[in-house]
Amino acid sequence: MKDQGEQVAFEPWLQKNAEAAWQARRASDNLSWCRWPQPTPERRRYSWGCSSAVVTLQVTRPTESVKPQTAK
């Protein structure tokens, strides 16, 4: 996407998908399956079934600013 100069066209779409994956995560362990926007069920999830959420959240820039933590 970046190499082809397509960020402007696809980044908003990717960000919406990342947000859907994050909203569908399971509260007990933050796992998110691939059927967004449906909530992730409590039963066992296999790694491959959760991998699309991981990839989407890793390659997409956040839509909100993140403040860096200061050292104490």
- pLDDT of 66 > 70? The answer is no
pLDDT in tens, 3-58: 887 778 888 999 999 999 999 999 999 999 988 888 999 999 888 888 988 888 88
Per-residue pLDDT, 29: 92
Per-residue pLDDT, 42: 92
Per-residue pLDDT, 72: 63
Task: Supply the DSSP string of 8-44, one letter for each residue.
Answer: HHHHHHHHHHHHHHHHTS-TTT----SSTTSPPPSS-
Q: What are phi and psi of 27, to 5 degrees?
A: -65, -30
- For residue 46, how many other CB atoms are within 10 A of its CB? 8
